[in-house]
Amino acid sequence: MSGFPWGAFALNLAWAAAAALAVMLVTFAVAVRAGLHRIVDVAWGIGFTAVAAVTFAASAGHGDLARRVLVTVLTAVWGLRLAVHIARRGRGHGEDPRYEAMLAKAPGNRNAYALRMVYLLQGALVWLVSLPVQAAQYVPDPPSAVVWAGSALWAVGLGFEAVGDAQLARFKADPANRGRIMDRGLWSWTRHPNYFGDFCVWWGLFLLTCDSPAAAAVSVVSPVVMSLLLIRGSGKRLLERHMADRPGFAAYAARTSGFFPRPPRREPSETRGAP
């Protein structure tokens, strides 16, 4: 197993930070002009794609070409699909209620506060969470079976995200479902197929670093942080707090897994049988 090029990787960390910052600053300028800070959610996937592309260019001569191409393509496919989905979902809508509530309490200039608390914070998270994307491209060894296992886990995650998002979009498009809880398809197996998909994507990308103990050690913080955000932070926990008072949610939560997919529990009447 070849040595990990620490010097080149350290320089890449700076290039990746610059790429993430550039995406967020351009997005901030567009959002201020449009008067909609929800645009920053579109930049999340684009930021990872930019980091992957910059790292691909910077890692030439240091990492294995097949691995570099693989991690760049996987990251770009995930990031751009997510960006397009969020852009389509938000088209024609006003400001996101989350950002509206946050900015209503802003001390001083709202845009300056948004820059500090939203754009720069998300840029820092893109840099941190993308560590496996960066480190994998500096591993000089050809891909092993662990890399292909990681790619398979990534594919499972992307499938959960894409299928879950499509199912939810079709459900919301039907006026008959207005005010109802989505509990069909993947949403009957987990209350958050998109967040579970994200979980699989980032643990899968982490596995692409595992042919190098050094690359894995510097990258493991990424899927750990992402998992905490999805389960305990701004993902599942925050969304369910917002949905807790909706009619039918308590029953849905009682029969459906909160995160990891499993068959839905039967209703008490189904378990006892018909009277």
pLDDT higher than 90, residue 240: no
pTM of the model: 0.92
Whether the predicted pLDDT of 1 surpasses 60: no
Mean residue pLDDT across the chain: 92
Residue 273 clears pLDDT 50, i.e. is over it? no
Convert the pLDDT of each residue in 183-213 to its tens digit: 999 999 999 999 999 999 999 999 999 999 9
Are 189 and 264 in contact by the 8 Å Cβ rule? The answer is yes
Q: Which residue has the tokens 């891909």?
A: 143
d(CA 113, CA 188): 39
